[in-house]
Structure 1
């Protein structure tokens, strides 16, 4: 059974901040739509994973560091959508349902610069990964889950390739979102059996200009 970010096995893991700097992924040769920042070790691992891909295929990062305020806004909006679909649900149940897709701010890896949303691109643009990035479970009939059976053989092969290179570089996937990979956050600590996360929320003084 999938462990969600709202699970106490995740929320009780402490984050002991290392103070590692943020870096611009463009400076590490990673394809991005615009300027995207992550912790230095995350950038190093993405650059390594990129070298593992076959010729003509590259990683493409859509989002890295996310402001805390934006994370809260995304969570609140999705929780409101879930509440409309599940009227009468308790606050706890809505929190669990929402965290399938959007991390609660207190454990969110994007606000720590520890996570990226990414895909694969080739000579002719994005490869088929089964759904668009950020397709919700409701919109995609669950096809956004990494191991979803209701995707094409090509999409399954491309997801396997994505996983092979990112896992080899030390990143972990949040299994309800094929595109979400992280290093150094609480979910990484849980999967890797570490006593603590090594990154907490990025402070304003750490935010790049």
Structure 2
């Protein structure tokens, strides 16, 4: 099931700022750099966000009768609420969810997409992370703003 694809830069900025603010509130002793690094595990900084380039999709699996399959967490579960189970290869994910993640991953990898490993649902093609993961010379896509 397709959950989300292109995301306008303004919305990406809002998501990043909202999550950074929550981390700052939960950890008032953290430096600005630490907050930014921690926020970047879950929400890409607006200036490099693959969703804002139209290069990323968030997906999950559905059964033939329309039921969402067990993936171990909900789509968009953050590292704090999921206790790290949102990471693609989290060790404490139930066997059925692990199998479903493997099925999703095998299909999308075969199609040339790469997974961002802190979000089992996030897959991209042509962005900076894709270029790094595949050894491509450069990203195909950069940020764009729809008008």
TM-superposed CA distance for 1:204, in Å, is 2.8
- Aligned-pair distance for 1:86? 1.7
Structure with bigger gyration radius? 1
Q: Residue 151 of structure 1: CA displacement?
A: 1.4
Aligned Cα root-mean-square deviation (Å): 1.0
Which of 107, 115, 137 is equivalent to 1:173?
Answer: 115
Query: Which residue in 1 is equivalent to 2:54?
Result: 113
Are 2:23 and 1:82 equivalent residues in the alignment? yes
Per-residue CA deviation, residues 52-105 of structure 1 (Å, 9 max, x unaligned), is xxxxxxxx1100000110000000000011112221211111110000000001
| Residues 9 and 145 in structure 2, CA contact (< 8 A), matched pair in contact too | no
What secondary structure does 1:204 align onto? coil
- State the Cα distance separating 1:195 from its structure 2 match: 2.1
In structure 1, what is the equivalent of residue 42 of structure 2?
101
Q: Under a length normalisation based on structure 2, what TM-score does the superposition of the two structures give?
A: 0.96
SS at match of 2:60: strand
Contact 2:115 2:123 in 1 (8 A): yes
CA distance in 1, matches of 2:141, 2:71: 29
Matched, 1:202 2:138: no
Deviation at 1:130, TM superposition (A): 0.5
- Which structure shows the bigger proportion of residues in strand conformation? 1
Partner deviation per Cα, 1:3-39 (whole Å, 9 max, x = no partner)? xxxxxxxxxxxxxxxxxxxxxxxxxxxxxxxxxxxxx
Structure 2 equivalent of residue 123 of structure 1: 64
Q: Distance in 2 between matches of 1:85 and 1:148?
A: 23
Q: Scaled by the length of structure 1, what TM-score is found?
A: 0.68
Q: Deviations 1:108-133 (Å, cap 9, x if unpaired)?
A: 00000000000001123111100000
Could you tell me which of 78, 89, 98 is aligned with 1:156? Answer: 98
For the pair 1:62 / 2:34, whether they are aligned, the reply is no
Conserved 8 A contact 2:8-2:145? no
- For residues 4-83 of structure 1, what are the structure 2 equivalents within 5 Å? 60-83=1-24
Rounded to whole Å, the distance in 2 between the matches of 1:151 and 1:157 is 10
Alignment size in residue pairs: 146
